[in-house]
Structure 1
Amino acid sequence: MPPRRRDRPDEGDDRYYEEEYDEERYAGDDGDEGAPVQGRPVAGRRPRRDSVVVQAEPQRPRRRPLTATSAGRAGLRHIADLTAREPEAVTLVQPVENGWVVDVEVVEDHRIPSSSDIIALYEAQMDEEGNLLSYRRTRRYRRGAGDLGGGYGR
C-alpha cells in the first residue's frame, strides 16, 4: 500500500504534500533513492518526483473519423434540418480533403400525382467529424426526369 498523501492547503501549491511513512514498505531502505519525502518539504525545495501527484488536464476526446455510411447519415440529417423538408435519398457520398461531400435529394413540392413532385438536389460539405461546413442547392427537377436534364434548372 503506497504512503497516504494529504493535501497541504497552507502551502498554496497542489504539488506539495505531507506523507505518512510506511516503515514496513521501506524497511531496509537507507532513505537515499526511491523513498518518499516525509513531512513538510524543505523551504525552497520541491519534494522528490516520486512523491508528487500530477493530474493531467482533461482533454476533449477525439472522435473517430467518419465512415462513408455515417457521413451519408450526417449529411442527410443536416440537409433535413436546414431545409425543413422531407429528404428522399442520399445520392452521393464522397471523401474530399479534410472531410466529406454528401448529395441529398429533397422533395420541395408535393404534387398529385406524385410523379409530378419537384425534387431538389442539395450538396453538404462536412469536416472529418461530420460538422456541417456549407450546403447549397445544386439542382431542381421533376420526379422521374432527374437524369434526363429536363426540369426547373439550378
Structure 2
Amino acid sequence: MTDGIAERFPGRIFETPIAEAGIVGVGVGAALAGMGPVIELMYLDFVTCAMDEVVNQAAKMRYMRAVRERPMVIRLPCGVGRLLAAQHSQIMESWFMHVPGLQGWSVTPADAKGLFKTAIRSPDPVLFFEYKRIYTSKGEVPDGDT
C-alpha cells in the first residue's frame, strides 16, 4: 500500500521506533504545526498504548486551540489476519465512536480511495480503520478525485 512512497514524497516520510504513544504524540504535534500528518500504527490493537494521545490530545485539539482545523489521519489496520495472535486481531472500533472530536471510518476496497482522500481533507482527526483482509483484495479503483 505504501510501496515507493518515500521516493514519491522525499523528506516527508519518517521511520519511527515501535512506540505508539510517541508516534501519535509526534502526529499531534505535527497537526498543531499545520502539517496534516498521516500516521500509521502497526495494528489497531496497539492504539491502547496511545489512548491519552488519541482521546485527550488529538480529539480535543480543535477545541483547545484558536485555529479550529487540525487535520490528522491515524491509519489503523484491524480485524483478523493470517497467523496473527489474539492481540493483533481485535475489533475495537466502537471504543472511539463516542469520543467528541474524532471521526472513525471503516473501509472496503471499493471505497478506500475516496474515503482516504476525504480523511486527508477533513479538518478533524480521523481514525482510518483498514481491515487487514482488504490488503490482498482486488477491485476496481475509480479514476479522478473520488
Interval containing the TM-score (normalised by the shorter chain): under 0.3
Greater percentage in helix:
2
TM-score, normalised via structure 1 length = 0.22
Larger radius of gyration, structure 1 or 2? Answer: 1
TM-score (norm 2): 0.23
* Larger relative contact order (Cα-Cα within 8 Å, sequence gap ≥ 6): 2
